[in-house]
């Protein structure tokens, strides 16, 4: 049976953790854990796991596979930390959750703060969610079901229900006494919120300021106005942006009538920033989700659709080349040189695209400054185009022995680099004004534009000037 608290007298001694130990699992640690598993030495395994924390234990479970992972979960269940499940990759989590069973998962969720409990149940499959909800206490079940009803990736799903709210007529001394005597406080909190009798937010005070102020001082005199409130349905990416811009440690979540519902803390926002950044990187590569631990067949199927769409765009570029088949037959050297222009255009466009997608996500690139940014990218494309025109044109001249081919190559390079810079910014900016995510669709459109323009420019100029 899983336990969520360890007896101090029987707990293994925890050694200080060095900074380098927090950056990942080394091979020696993994070998030691596997050896303890094979030997069935629970004490040695517990000593290895004790300083690792939930994320480290999750990493270890992910590295193991097959019978070793099953054995690890069996041993681990005896001193189970519920936060480990939340740190696991989705595919591995489903496997581990099925092995631990509904009763253990339900007890784990009941031991967590409300935000961590909701985050954990959100990561479970629908069937496991239903079984766990049926197994937890009614009050917790109602809270979880309410959280699940909020839109996906919203502040309502991210917030923590446990918070400290006090009336405005209290003094600092009364607040301190309340904090000492209350059994229903969050494990960690940074701000104290001041509310009226209808629980509407009217102010807030940093915990550190309360502790530095004399007891008779009235809370009303001490509190500061609330500069930032988070609506329940705000997207978590926008929440992260607000925290970043305002340098917040925590922020209150309110409903439409300004009633205080919950609080979002910076530790959850860090997870959101990591999640959103990873999602954008995957989408730029045409991958819908992290499939590192998926089965081969599932991974292949998930990647096929985007690769097939890329095939269609490649066919479009090939059709353009087909229009100049006669030109290539007469001047074969063009077939050797034309990939250079397309490759340089694609790389230049990707540089601009990466900067643009990041700027859009950070609200730095908008319709208001689009014209200035577009003109800048055109000038950057012209600058690099001229430089590479000299280099590549010279190489083409020496290689082919024809100054005309060198000139065509140079001119095509200038055109391609300018269009690449323009498209790298314009495509994600245009997509951001529609329902399409720029991080998802920009790459394939950019590749098509740069390839088509490069081939048209190079082969078109070749047909014009060389035949």
Q: What angle do CA 185, 188, 191 make, to 5 degrees?
A: 85
Task: Report the chain (467 residues): mean pLDDT per 10 consecutive residues.
Answer: 42 45 66 83 80 82 82 74 78 81 84 82 84 88 89 89 92 94 85 93 92 93 90 91 89 92 90 75 62 66 72 82 82 85 88 85 81 91 93 90 91 94 90 76 82 90 84
Give the contacts of 29 (CB within 8 A, at least 6 positions apart). 48, 60
State CA 283 to chain mean position distance: 11
Which tokens belong to 103?
């009763």
pLDDT of amino acid 292: 60
Q: What are phi and psi of 364, to 5 degrees?
A: -90, -20
What integer pLDDT is reported at residue 2 of this predicted model? 40
- The domains found in the chain, sorted by start residue, are 19-154 (1.25.60.10), 165-284 (3.10.580.10), 296-466 (1.10.357.20)
Question: What span, in angstroms and rounded, lies between the C-alpha atoms of 16 and 21?
Answer: 10
Reduce the secondary structure of 210-257 to three states and give it as a string: HHCCCCCCEHHHHCECCCCCEECCCEHHHHHHHHHHHCCCEEEEECCC
DSSP 3-state of 153? coil
Residues constituting the chain: 467
- Count the Cβ atoms, other than its own, within 10 Å of residue 15: 10
Cα dihedral sign, 295-297-300-302: negative
Closest CA to 452 of 307, 318, 277: 318
Note the pLDDT of residue 203: 92
**What pLDDT is attached to residue 234?**
93
Q: CB–CB of 197/144 below 8 Å?
A: no
Is-contact 416 385, C-beta < 8 A? Answer: yes
Residue 286 falls in which region: left (phi positive, over 0), alpha (psi -120 to 50) or beta: left
CA distance 126 to 128: 6
Q: Is the pTM of this model over 0.75?
A: no
Residue 321, judged by CB atoms within 10 A of its CB (0-12, 13-18, 19+), counts as: buried
- pLDDT recorded at residue 259: 93
């Amino acid at each position: 049976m899983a336990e969520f608290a360890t007896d101090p007298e029987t707990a293994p001694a925890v050694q200080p953790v060095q900074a380098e130990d927090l950056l990942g699992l080394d091979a020696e640690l993994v070998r030691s854990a596997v050896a303890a598993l094979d030997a069935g030495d629970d004490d040695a395994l517990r000593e290895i796991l004790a300083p690792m924390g939930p994320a480290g234990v999750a990493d270890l479970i992910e590295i193991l596979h097959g019978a070793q992972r099953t054995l690890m979960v069996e041993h681990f269940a005896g001193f189970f930390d519920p936060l480990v499940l939340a740190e696991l990759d989705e595919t591995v989590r489903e496997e581990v959750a099925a092995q631990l069973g509904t009763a253990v998962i339900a007890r784990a969720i009941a031991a967590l703060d409300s935000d961590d409990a909701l985050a954990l149940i959100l990561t479970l499959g629908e069937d496991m969610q239903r079984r766990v909800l049926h197994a937890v206490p009614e009050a917790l079940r109602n809270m979880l079901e309410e959280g699940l009803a909020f839109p996906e990736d919203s502040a309502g799903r991210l917030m923590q229900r446990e918070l400290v709210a006090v009336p405005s007529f209290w003094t600092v001394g009364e607040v301190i006494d309340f904090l000492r005597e209350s059994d229903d406080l969050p494990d960690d909190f940074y701000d104290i919120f001041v509310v009226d009798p209808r629980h509407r937010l009217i102010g807030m005070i940093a915990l550190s300021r309360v502790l530095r102020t004399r007891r008779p001082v009235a809370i009303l005199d001490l509190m500061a106005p609330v500069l930032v409130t988070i609506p329940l349905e705000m997207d978590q990416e926008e929440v992260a942006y607000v925290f970043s811009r305002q340098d917040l440690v925590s922020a209150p979540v309110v409903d439409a009538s300004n009633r205080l519902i919950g609080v979002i803390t910076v530790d959850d926002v860090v997870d959101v920033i990591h999640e959103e950044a990873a999602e954008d990187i995957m989408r730029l590569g045409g991958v819908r989700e992290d499939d590192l631990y998926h089965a081969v067949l599932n991974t292949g199927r998930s990647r096929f659709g985007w690769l097939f769409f890329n095939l269609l765009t490649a066919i479009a570029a090939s059709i353009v080349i087909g229009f100049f088949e006669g030109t290539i037959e007469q001047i074969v050297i063009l077939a050797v040189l034309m990939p250079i222009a397309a490759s340089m255009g694609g790389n230049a466009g990707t540089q601009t695209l990466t900067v643009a997608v990041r700027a859009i996500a950070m609200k730095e690139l908008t319709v208001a400054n689009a014209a200035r940014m577009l003109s800048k990218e055109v000038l950057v494309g012209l600058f690099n185009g001229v430089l590479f025109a000299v280099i590549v044109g010279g190489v083409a001249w020496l290689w082919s022995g024809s100054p005309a081919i060198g000139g065509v190559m140079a001119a095509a390079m200038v055109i391609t680099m300018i269009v690449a810079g323009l498209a790298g910014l314009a495509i994600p900016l245009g997509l951001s004004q529609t329902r399409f995510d720029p991080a998802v669709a920009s790459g394939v459109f950019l590749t098509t534009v740069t390839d088509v323009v490069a081939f048209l420019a190079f082969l078109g100029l070749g047909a014009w000037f060389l035949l």
